[in-house]
A and B are shown apart, each in its own frame.
Chain A
Amino acid sequence: MLPRPTTHSKALGPGVAGPELAVATSAVLDRPPQPTAHHPLTGAQPCFVDPAALGDPRQHTKYPYVTGSSVVAIKYKDGVLVGCDMLGAYGSTKRYKSTQRIHQVNSKCVVAAGGEVSDFQHIITLLDELTTDDYRTDDGIELTPQEVYSYLCRVMYNRRNKFDPLWNSLVVGGVQGGVPFLGMVGMIGTHYTDSHVTTGFANQLARPLFRERQHDDMSEEDALALMYDALKVCYYRDKVSINKFQIAKVTKDAGTSISEPFALEMRWDYKLFAQPTKWAVGAW
């Protein structure tokens, strides 16, 4: 058994290990004394508040505040396309009109998110840590999209188990071994992979378009046209969206690129838009 290291000063009192700077100890055997109700700590330890005593002031995520709307993504012949608008909405207010909701992880993979923007920024930090480790190891091995997807599933599910979810619906897209990969991870850890993936409102609006028109060997022009149509529908019918989009493209040959923000042609002079209830069956 190792003798428990203590500071030399008895003034700190019995049972206090003191700052353990110069003495290397086993982290398991020699944990600093945990505070309990009847053993207040002396000044040697940083002030430690017992959460139980205060009725647990830690809050869990209850509602998202600044949110992103939908994300649409499809596979095509050369890779994947992931598109979304650039709005960070504060409730119904269209507050931040230049939030980039797509993030490039490495040369093979992008992640896009709908939902709470700050949680997505945290996820970006986690992914950047992984990417930096890969870079530092410098052995030519990068995270594949499928590994990013599995990692995010575990993270989201873990947070959900702690009743403190990251309030996001994530889309992971990329190319690995020449084969396109597309997956979605929800805020409670639900996940699936498919040839076309949508989150948020686009589930209702864009999915029917994709079901009809998407197939895995589409050409790039067809795929882009389909994406534009999907983004248009999302802007027409989703109240909390703006006409400013970004599309990320991941291909086998050219790697990853995120486009400059662009706007699409919209028509608001459709008769049904101008007078939506004119032909509706109504009370009078």
Chain B
Amino acid sequence: SDTHVVLATLKRSQSELSSFQRKVFKIDDHMGIAIAGLTGDGRSMSKYMRNECINHRYVYESAMPVGRLVRQLADKSQVCTQRSWKRPYGVGLLVAGVDAAGPHLFNTCPSGNYFEYKAMAIGARSQAAKTYLEKHFESFPAATLDDLIRHSLRALQASLSEGELSAANSSVAVVGAGMAFTLLEDDAVL
């Protein structure tokens, strides 16, 4: 919306017994990411992003602009595609953040491409979620935070081929102009 960004993710688990895979990472008070793909690569990228953000805070005592960090990340990913002894990062990120220019949602690819979006879904079986978002995205700028969260959960539901969206297998993260990046897991989602 015009003031907030919401990320909703579906967590997969290896088996009935294991815990669910963590897919949302807080990068800084004003920024966070959700990953789709190789979680190991996602963790390494989040470590890089956290480092850059905190260095920026040390020198400038202010939040790092989201677009600039995403561009640095994309440049890093592109290097991996142009060296014969490296492999591309196998993960796409949805970067949600708020800076001086307002709320932003970016999607990065292993190729080093990145785009800013009003609404986006990534990952396996994300097409159904994208269709839902395409139908409703016009109402997002003016939507309240609760509405926005409901939309994102419904979009997530659309991409589930079977099974219910329960508190245990989904997580929602919100960041806004006055609101630090907050991750809601399990019960808080309800």
B85-128 interface code vs A (CB 8 A; 1 in, 0 out): 10000000000000111000000000000000000000000000
B134-169 interface code vs A (CB 8 A; 1 in, 0 out): 000000000000000000000000000000000000
Q: How far is the CB of B123 from chain A (nearest CB, A)?
A: 27
Within 8 A of A (CB), among B50-104: 58-62, 65, 67-68, 71, 83, 85, 99-101
A144 within 8 A of partner (CB): yes
A128-163 interface code vs B (CB 8 A; 1 in, 0 out): 000000000101110110110011001000000000
Closest B-chain residue to A148, C-beta based? B60
A interface residues, tally (CB under 8 Å): 13
Residues B62 and A147 in contact, CB atoms below 8 Å apart:
yes
Residues B101 and A139 in contact, CB atoms below 8 Å apart:
yes
Q: In the assembled complex, which residues on chain B have CB atoms less than 8 Å from the CB atom of A144?
A: 62, 100
Contact of B59 among A137, A146, A150 (CB under 8 A): A150
Q: In the assembled complex, which residues on chain A have CB atoms less than 8 Å from the CB atom of B62?
A: 144, 146-147, 150
A24 within 8 A of partner (CB): yes
Residues B100 and A141 in contact, CB atoms below 8 Å apart:
yes
Q: In the assembled complex, which residues on chain B have CB atoms less than 8 Å from the CB atom of A140?
A: 101
Q: In the assembled complex, which residues on chain B have CB atoms less than 8 Å from the CB atom of A143?
A: 60
Q: How far is the CB of A178 from chain B (nearest CB, A)?
A: 13
Q: How far is the CB of A117 from chain B (nearest CB, A)?
A: 25
B interface residues, tally (CB under 8 Å): 14
A18-54 interface code vs B (CB 8 A; 1 in, 0 out): 0000001000000000000000000000000000000
Residues B68 and A147 in contact, CB atoms below 8 Å apart:
no
Q: How far is the CB of B189 from chain A (nearest CB, A)?
A: 33
Q: How far is the CB of A145 from chain B (nearest CB, A)?
A: 11
Q: In the assembled complex, which residues on chain B have CB atoms less than 8 Å from the CB atom of A24?
A: 83
Q: Given A140-B101, A141-B101, are A147 and B61 neighbors across the interface (CB < 8 Å)?
A: yes
Contact of A139 among B59, B60, B61, B68 (CB under 8 A): B68
Contact of B65 among A141, A146, A151, A154 (CB under 8 A): A141
Q: In the assembled complex, which residues on chain A have CB atoms less than 8 Å from the CB atom of B59?
A: 150-151, 154
Within 8 A of B (CB), among A226-284: none
Residues B65 and A139 in contact, CB atoms below 8 Å apart:
yes
Q: In the assembled complex, which residues on chain B have CB atoms less than 8 Å from the CB atom of A146?
A: 61-62
Residues A141 and B83 in contact, CB atoms below 8 Å apart:
no
Q: How far is the CB of B72 from chain A (nearest CB, A)?
A: 11
Report the separation of the CA atoms of residues A24 and B65 in the bound assembly, to the nearest whole angstrom. Answer: 32
Report the separation of the CA atoms of residues A151 and B65 in the bound assembly, to the nearest whole angstrom. Answer: 16
Report the separation of the CA atoms of residues A196 and B85 in the bound assembly, to the nearest whole angstrom. Answer: 58
Residues B60 and A150 in contact, CB atoms below 8 Å apart:
yes
Contact sample, A vs B, 18 pairs, CB 8 Å cutoff: A2-B85, A137-B67, A139-B65, A139-B101, A141-B65, A141-B67, A141-B99, A141-B100, A141-B101, A143-B60, A144-B62, A146-B61, A147-B60, A147-B62, A150-B59, A150-B60, A150-B61, A154-B59
Interface residues of A (CB under 8 A from B): 2, 24, 137, 139-141, 143-144, 146-147, 150-151, 154
Given pairs A139-B67, A154-B59, 20 additional interface contacts (CB within 8 A) = A2-B85, A24-B83, A139-B65, A139-B68, A140-B101, A141-B67, A141-B68, A141-B99, A141-B100, A141-B101, A143-B60, A144-B100, A146-B61, A146-B62, A147-B60, A147-B61, A150-B59, A150-B60, A151-B59, A154-B58
Q: Identify the 6 closest CB pairs spanning chains A and B, nearest first.
A: A150-B61, A147-B60, A141-B65, A139-B67, A150-B60, A154-B59
